């Protein structure tokens, strides 16, 4: 059985993130005013998709968590992760995890240096996964406000890096209904801050009630904002110690709100198929929803070295894309679902 997701699985990395490269410590560029940037690219940030010229169903990005052991050991830093994505795998878009540069959210010199590395490598920054910032659905009003405001710096960091979104956790306590209301309140307040900055706020199924697809979909309907969406993860559907939500049902329930997709992988059989998730079935669900955005590799296995796990996941996603191509229109073959249509199932 697949390892359980954990609210703090990334938090411990904050103290051991790799040191900042010296070249990033130069004079930072002038800080932009807090007014929103020009509207150019709004649609792409709002509902990120591959170029309309790309005759592919989806393009493949890489989540930083795929190298969490290497990063934790100090053998790679965030800039090195970007370079590795491009030079070792030919991947042109990345998804960050905030715990690997936790103290750099407001360091404009660091962020501008990271953005420069991305430009040099031809890599796009898609989103920042945010952990360790408090429960956005905390029953204590003051604690909930602190958690909400803790995410503001990551909204600003995402904006500076050119990301389209941040990912937050829907953590709370209480009954099912109480948690829905509390989380919706926290999310709505982060969205209120993020909207004028053209940043989306996404929730991943990531433990607790958030791994219940029907519940998380109900949170999205409660918030009812086009900049609030989901990041469906193929594997994070553990509800309790010995209780799991059906992953295929869960992804199907979350896809109407999806602005990113996490192709979680743990291990592979001799044919190169993931042993815990039927990728063909899962990607068919993703594509049937109308989604034509980025699909992010998130290797979390322990048997294979991280680089081999990433390579195996990449090969599988590429093979499935070719197999499903006859059934679905590629991104450049027709109009992508409108933003209004993304708001509700």
Output the 3-class SS for 3-28. CCCCCCCCHHHHHHCCCCCHHHHCCC
The per-residue pLDDT for 216 is 98
Q: What pLDDT shows up at residue 54?
A: 58
CATH topology for 58-342? Answer: TIM Barrel (3.20.20)
Domain-by-domain residue ranges, the chain? 58-342
DSSP reduced 3-state for 238: strand
What residues have CB less than 8 Å from 311, skipping those under 6 apart?
Answer: 89
- Residue 322: C-alpha distances to residues 281, 283, 287, 293, 326 (Å): 14, 12, 13, 16, 8
The rounded distance, in Å, linking the Cα atoms of 78 and 84 is 10
Rounded Cα–Cα distance for residues 77 and 110 (Å): 12
Burial 209-218 (b: 16+ CB within 10 A, else e): bbbbbebbbb
pTM assigned to the model: 0.82
3-state SS, residue 273: coil
What's the token pair of residue 21? 């490269």
Give the number of other CB atoms < 10 A from CB of residue 189.
19
Q: At CA 250, angle to CA 246 and CA 253, rounded to 5?
A: 145
The reported pLDDT for the residue numbered 48 is 44
pLDDT tens series, the chain, 345 aa: 344 344 434 443 343 343 333 333 333 333 332 233 333 333 333 344 444 445 789 999 999 999 999 999 999 999 999 999 999 999 999 999 999 999 999 999 999 999 999 999 999 999 999 999 999 999 999 999 999 999 999 999 999 999 999 999 999 999 999 999 999 999 999 999 999 999 999 999 998 999 999 999 999 999 999 999 999 999 999 998 889 999 999 999 999 999 999 999 999 999 999 999 999 999 999 999 999 999 999 999 999 999 999 999 999 999 999 999 999 987 765 433 433 333 333
């Amino acid at each position: 059985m697949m390892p359980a997701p954990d609210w703090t699985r990334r938090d411990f990395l904050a103290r051991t993130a790799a040191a900042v490269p010296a070249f990033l410590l130069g004079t930072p560029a002038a800080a932009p005013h807090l007014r929103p940037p020009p509207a150019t690219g709004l649609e792409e940030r709002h509902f990120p998709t591959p170029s309309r010229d790309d005759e592919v169903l989806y393009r493949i990005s890489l989540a930083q968590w795929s190298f969490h052991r290497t990063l934790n050991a100090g053998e790679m830093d965030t800039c090195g992760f970007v370079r590795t994505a491009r030079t070792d795998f030919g991947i042109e878009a990345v998804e960050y995890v905030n715990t690997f540069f936790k103290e750099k959210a407001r360091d404009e010199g660091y962020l501008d240096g990271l953005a420069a590395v991305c430009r040099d490598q031809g890599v796009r920054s898609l989103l920042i996964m945010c952990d360790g910032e408090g429960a956005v659905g905390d029953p204590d009003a003051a604690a909930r406000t602190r958690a909400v405001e803790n995410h503001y710096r990551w909204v600003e960091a995402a904006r500076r890096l050119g990301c389209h979104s941040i990912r937050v956790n829907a953590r709370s306590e209480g009954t099912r209904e109480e948690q829905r209301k509390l989380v919706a309140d926290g999310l709505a307040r982060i969205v209120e801050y993020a909207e004028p900055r053209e940043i989306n706020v996404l929730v991943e199924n990531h433990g607790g009630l958030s791994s219940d697809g029907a519940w998380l979909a109900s949170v999205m309907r409660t918030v009812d904002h086009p900049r609030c969406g989901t990041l469906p993860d193929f594997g994070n559907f553990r509800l309790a110690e010995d209780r799991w939500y059906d992953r295929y049902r869960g992804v199907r329930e979350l896809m109407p709100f999806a602005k990113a997709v996490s192709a979680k992988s743990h291990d592979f059989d001799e044919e190169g198929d993931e042993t815990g998730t039927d990728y063909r079935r899962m990607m068919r669900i993703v594509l049937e929803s109308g989604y034509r955005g980025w699909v992010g590799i998130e290797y979390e296995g322990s048997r294979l070295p991280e680089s081999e796990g990433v390579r195996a996941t990449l090969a599988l996603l590429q093979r499935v894309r070719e197999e499903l191509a006859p059934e679905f229109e590629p991104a450049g073959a027709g109009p992508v679902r409108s933003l209004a249509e993304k708001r509700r199932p």
